[in-house]
Amino acid sequence: MKKAKTAIFALIAVILIVLLVNPGWLPISKTTENAIRELELKHMLIQGSGKITAAHIATLVLCLCIVWLCYTIIKHILLAVGKKDDRSRTVTTLLIGVLKYAAVIAAVIWGFSILGVNTAAVLAGVGILGLILGFGAQSLIEDVITGIFIIFEGQYAIGDIIILDDFRGTVRSIGVRTTTIEDAGGNIKIVNNSDIRNLQNRSRQPSVALCDVGVAYETDLKALEAMLAEALPKMYEPNKALYLGPPRYLGVEELADSGVNLRFAVDVKESDVFAARRKLNRDIRVLFQEKGVDIPFPQVVVHRAQE
């Protein structure tokens, strides 16, 4: 639907450009047609002469269409290039954000020039105003600069899973000012780039799903460990889509009150860490059940005092 709308708007823009470049096709007076031709041929970056006429309005529409069409074409080229990998998508998102601001600024300046405004004076005034506002918009400037450093230092990219404060989610977009993160529940967090500090990028290295299982103190650990050395590698084949390798037995994690806690681990993608943990818990439980290994319940020993 979105592509269809873009195509329709692009078609309308092309039609307007063709009509305005050929004003003789329009139902307008000869005077207006000649004025449009003169403005287009002589200026196309028109300075005007004070009075706004139908020719100025028509040429303004033409120029706005040209800006919009150029923006749309460049945007789609960038989107096509950005499909290669996460790094390309990240840089493309930032460039599209910058392109959007540049298109708006270009359209405004060009439009003012067509309507007869002295753009040189406007730009000088904007420069002074920007200097004044800069002191009151330091956070905005900091957001933009931080966003640029995030992109070029490669701290994270679109599609990476990061932990920021207590929020764990996937980076959905990196803009000029903000970064958008989505957690597993679909909740969206939008953070100013300058506020992103002390984050964890969990997508650069394989993650580890852990499983702790208790066995009774009466269990023969040596026999159990020999059984695990044979059984764990067999868990990899049916779970290759989830596990990056065979599960590993790491040893005794804790001598707990009711039993001996054993730790197991398996390498996975960060996006699969919770699903892999649940699967590993199930596989170990099924294995212990098949091999007759007891998983103890919490036990309480009560001493009765003699009367």
CATH number at residue 163: 2.30.30.60
| The most confident of 52-61, 143-152, 160-169, by mean pLDDT | 160-169
- Residues 152-158 have a mean pLDDT of 76
What's the rounded Cα separation, in Å, for the pair 268 and 211?
Answer: 13
- Residues 59-86 have a mean pLDDT of 77
Residue 23 within any structural domain of the chain: yes
Residue 30 has a pLDDT of 67
Q: Is 301 or 294 the better-scoring residue by pLDDT? A: 294
Q: Is 226 or 55 the better-scoring residue by pLDDT? A: 226
Residue 299 within any structural domain of the chain: no
- Residues 216-225 have a mean pLDDT of 89
Whether residue 287 sits in one domain with residue 211: yes
260-276 residue pLDDT tens: 999 999 999 888 888 99
Whether residue 6 sits in one domain with residue 103: yes
Number of domains the chain is built from: 3
Residue 84 within any structural domain of the chain: yes
Whether residue 223 sits in one domain with residue 260: yes
Structure confidence at residue 285 as a pLDDT band (50, 70, 90): very high
Whether residue 255 sits in one domain with residue 176: no
222-257 residue pLDDT tens: 999 999 999 999 999 888 889 999 999 999 998 888
Rg (alpha carbons) of the chain, rounded to whole number: 33
Residue 136 within any structural domain of the chain: no
Q: Is 253 or 133 the better-scoring residue by pLDDT? A: 253
Residue 29 within any structural domain of the chain: yes
Whether residue 240 sits in one domain with residue 191: no
Residue 247 has a pLDDT of 92
Residue 265 has a pLDDT of 93
Whether residue 216 sits in one domain with residue 241: yes
Residue 137 within any structural domain of the chain: no
110-127 residue pLDDT tens: 777 776 666 665 566 555
Supply the CATH number for residue 256's domain: 3.30.70.100
Residue 122 within any structural domain of the chain: no
Whether residue 182 sits in one domain with residue 217: no
> Which amino acid is it at 72?
T
Whether residue 242 sits in one domain with residue 195: no
133 pLDDT above the threshold of 70 = no
Residue 248 has a pLDDT of 92
pTM of the model: 0.52
Residue 204 has a pLDDT of 76
- Domain containing 156 equals 144-201
Whether residue 105 sits in one domain with residue 19: yes
Whether residue 212 sits in one domain with residue 193: no
13-45 residue pLDDT tens: 666 655 555 655 566 666 766 676 666 555 444
48 pLDDT above the threshold of 50 = no
Residue 63 within any structural domain of the chain: yes
Whether residue 163 sits in one domain with residue 64: no
Q: Is 47 or 97 the better-scoring residue by pLDDT? A: 97
Whether residue 211 sits in one domain with residue 197: no
- Rounded to the nearest integer, the mean pLDDT of the chain is 76
Structure confidence at residue 46 as a pLDDT band (50, 70, 90): very low
